[in-house]
Structure 1
Amino acid sequence: MLIWIIFAVMTGAAVFALLWPLGRGQGAAFADGSDAASLYRAQLDEIDRDLGRTLIGPAEAEAARVEAARRLLRAADKEGDPAGETESSLRRRRASSALALSCVPLLALLVYGAYGSPTRPDQPLSARLRSDPSQQDFAVSLARIEAHLAANPADGRGWAVLAPVYLRQGRPEDAVRAFAAAIRNGEDGAEMRAGLGEAQILAAGGVVTAEARETLAEALKREPGNPRARFFLAIAREQDGDSQGAVAAFESLLKDAPPGAAWVSAVRQRLQAIDGDTARAAIARLPAADQQAAIRGMVEGLAERLKAGGGTLAEWERLIRSQNVLGEKAAAREAIATARSRLSQDSAALVQLDRLAGELGLKEQAP
């Protein structure tokens, strides 16, 4: 009940604040009318005194009285002006004030009663955290899980749910702690070990550390075919300089991939990067006279493969840059057109192709 009293007082104060200046303006206008009459009488007295002292003649005194009367009439006309301040206008404003004071709060109550929720109880954050997580937004859901785990640190299942979330949010250090807590509290499966290994690698800036290798090896003991563990162990071979071993590991992973596996594209990109690095290293070992021919052959091979179908944005960029370096401007423009067609559903890729064409001076000139 107290809250409604406070609302009523606030509403009344707001209405009074709006109407008070109007009432003040009327009082000032009536005061001006009284001052005009007093001034008129003072002017008449002054005229009589001047006449008695023979400072002015009878004709001049009469003219002065007429002029003073005219001034009083003009003042009276202004007082009676509907736009000015009259007793009737004051009554109208008072009636408007009473109507506003009664109708505005009543209208507000009716609208709130029809569309508001006056009987709905308060629901603080603690109550919302206990409600159904499926009805909450992500931030509230995350806060709910973290609050639960703060009170129940031995809940391995809760840590197992939270750890991948931290990983997707780009919080690898928090993910390491969450995966470790899940494993420590009974969730010691292959996927948890592989997730911990990935978090350890990301926390180390992408380096497959000795600690991460041990974690990934433990994952493979629990599930020899775990794709995440195999992927990062293949990257470890690549970082060690064992390109052939990395290629073999990636190709084996592709061979065992189930249809539609989401991680297949990442494996193929790693293979292409290794192939490119290997080819560049091989070309660098050739005599200077043979290097240009080898580069051209590599570029032509890439062009034929992309022309046959597919290709990522990175591959198309590499082809376009290579053709431009070789002086094959027409082929580079054709590659840009083909890439636009192949990547037409990727707006970000189209923007990047436009930027690349401008950078290399390959934009078509207007006729």
Structure 2
Amino acid sequence: MVWIILALMTGAAVLAVLWPLGRDRPEDAAGETATDAAFYKAQLAEIERDAERGLIEPADAETARVEAGRRLLASNRRARAIVAADPGAGRRRLAAAVALIGVPLVSLSVYLTIGHPALPDMPLGARADRARPDMSMAQAVARIEDHLAKNPDDGRGFEVVGPVYLSAGRYADAERAFASAIRLLGESAARLENLGEAQVGLADGVVTAAARASFDKALGLDGRLVKARYFRAVAAEQDGDKARALQLFGELAAEAPTGTPLKARLDEKVAALGGAPVSAPRDETAETLASMPPADRMAAIRGMVEGLDARLSQNGEDPEGWLRLVRSYMVLGEAEKARNALARGRAALALDGAGLKRLEALGRELKIEGS
């Protein structure tokens, strides 16, 4: 079948060449022959330029010169014979011969050189695998969805695709993904918080009863969750409880780092509710440490670092905590503990891409072995 198709295509190409030859006028032959001669001369000059610049191999250049020269001589001979014969007959015969012999010969030579007539068709799945390095986000999500359709008990898969749905505004899909992750992997503060956010998005920004339940459960597991606390404040504002909303937004604003978009947004919320600007509270811990004797101060610092380590061992979904812990161990000169904390932080933040990048960057900055 392949050879039949190739033969038909070759015949069509030859016909395309021969068709206009049958409509040539004798009086056009002299002008066309002169044009051919000029073309071959220009081709010879171009071959010389390419050879001088090293763009083609000497052997290829010589072959091209011989071919172009041969065609130039043939063109000159046709030009001399125009006045003595039909000006179009020789050209038509030459073109017909080239078309009938040259086109099939060249086509067959090229195909036999670079083609693989016996090669079987690549399966669709293999094509998809080969294209994986250039896969777009939509293709990656489609592959995960296909995987989850075949493996509906893969809780990690649902947990991975859920944030992608959230960022894309696919709140219904995000809600199903996080609900499935909770069903299969159990409740965690992060999963419940993300589920609540998806439920808020699904309700066009309204903190519904279902979303409040999700946030309350999340805060029951980790009372420091920023998103859950923020939406709890939004819920109070939507209920018309301005005092409660102002209190909750104010607490978050006091903790938010100065100069961040979160701090600016929280300050706007506080101002809209009639509250005064909230500044960061005094760091009483630092003041207390500064007043201690050096030996007591070091013991207190070690105690706080050990307490932070113990808290992260219980709940490691805290990028800021891991950054402080690794940095604290390095300041204390305990490089081995810093290396161990870095490894544990990587494992705990495996699903938090942004947090993991920050932790790895800190490891490189502090030149921790293995980072």
TM-score (norm 2): 0.51
Alignment match, 1:173: 172
Identity of aligned residues (%): 41
Query: Structure 2: how far apart are the matches of 1:218 and 1:232?
Result: 13
Q: Displacement, 1:224?
A: 1.7
Does residue 98 of the first structure (1) align with residue 100 of the second (2)?
yes
Aligned to 1:210: 209
Residues 120-139 of structure 1: CA deviation (Å, up to 9, x unaligned) = 86545433555695552222
Q: What letter is aligned with 2:264?
A: R
1:6 is matched with 5
- 2:267 aligned partner: 271
- Cα distance, 1:83 vs structure 2: 10
Larger radius of gyration: 1
Name the CA distance, whole Å, in 1 between partners of 2:24 and 2:266: 82
Which residues in structure 2 correspond to 1:12-51 (within 5 Å)? 12-23=11-22
Distance in 2 separating the partners of 1:132 and 1:24 = 49
User: What corresponds to 2:90 in structure 1?
Assistant: 88
Q: How far did residue 248 of structure 1 move?
A: 2.4
Separation of aligned partners in 1, 2:22 and 2:172: 68
Distance 1:106 1:133 in 2: 34
SS of the residue 2:243 aligns to: helix
Helix, strand or coil for the counterpart of 1:278?
A: coil
- Write the deviation string for residues 124-162 of structure 1: whole angstroms up to 9, x where unpaired: 543355569555222221111000011111111111111
Unpaired runs of 5+ in structure 1? 28-79, 280-297, 302-367
Classify 1:248/1:7 alpha carbon distance in 2 versus 1 (closer, same or farther; 3 Å): farther
Instruction: Report how far residue 186 of structure 1 moved.
Output: 1.3
Shift of residue 165 of structure 1?
A: 0.8
Whole-angstrom CA distance in 2 between matches of 1:121 and 1:3: 12
Which residue number corresponds to residue 147 of structure 2?
148
Aligned-pair CA distance for 1:232? 0.9
Distance 1:193 1:118, change over 3 A: farther
Q: How does 1:318-329 map to 2 (within 5 A)?
A: none
- Which residue does the alignment assign to 2:238? 239
In structure 2, distance between residues paired with 1:131 and 1:252: 52
Task: Please tell me whether the aligned partners of residues 235 and 246 of structure 1 are also in contact (alpha carbons under 8 angstroms).
Answer: yes
Change (3 A) 1:251 1:8: farther
Contact 1:200 1:212 in 2 (8 A): yes
Q: Which residue of 1 aligns with 2:185?
A: 186
| In 2, Cα distance between equivalents of 1:173 and 1:205 | 11
Contact 1:15 1:101 in 2 (8 A): yes
Number of residue pairs aligned between Structure 1 and Structure 2:
224
Distance (Å, rounded) in 1 between the aligned partners of 2:129 and 2:23:
56
- What CA distance in whole angstroms lies between the structure 2 residues aligned with 1:141 and 1:268? 35
- Give the distance between the partners of 2:94 and 2:117, measured in 1 at CA: 36
After TM superposition, give the deviation of residue 95 of structure 1 in Å. 2.4
Q: Whole-Å Cα distance in 1 between the matches of residues 187 and 121 of structure 2?
A: 42
- SS of match in other structure, 1:153: coil
- Partner amino acid, structure 1, of 2:5: I
* CA shift digits 1:248-273 (9 cap, x unpaired): 2223224445x699xx5235314314
* Alpha-carbon distance in structure 1 between the residues aligned to 2:156 and 2:131: 18
- Separation in structure 1 between the aligned mates of residue 24 and residue 13 of structure 2, nearest angstrom: 18
Contact 2:17 2:99 in 1 (8 A): no
Distance 2:199 2:206 in 1: 9
1:223 aligned residue:
222
Partner of 2:111: 109
C-alpha separation between the residues in 2 aligned to 1:242 and 1:233? 11
- Residue by residue over 1:54-73, the C-alpha shift from the partner in whole angstroms, topping out at 9 and shown as x without a partner, is xxxxxxxxxxxxxxxxxxxx
Return 5+ residue gaps in structure 2 as ranges: 27-81, 278-371
Task: Spell out, residue by residue over 1:270-318, the C-alpha distance to the aligned partner (whole angstroms, 9 max, x if none).
Answer: 4314413538xxxxxxxxxxxxxxxxxx9xx9xxxxxxxxxxxxxxxxx
Give the superposed CA RMSD.
Answer: 3.8
Deviation at 1:109, TM superposition (A): 3.1
SS across alignment from 2:142: helix
Q: Which amino acid letter does the alignment assign opposite residue 19 of structure 1? A: L
Cα distance in 2 for partners of 1:83, 1:274 equals 99
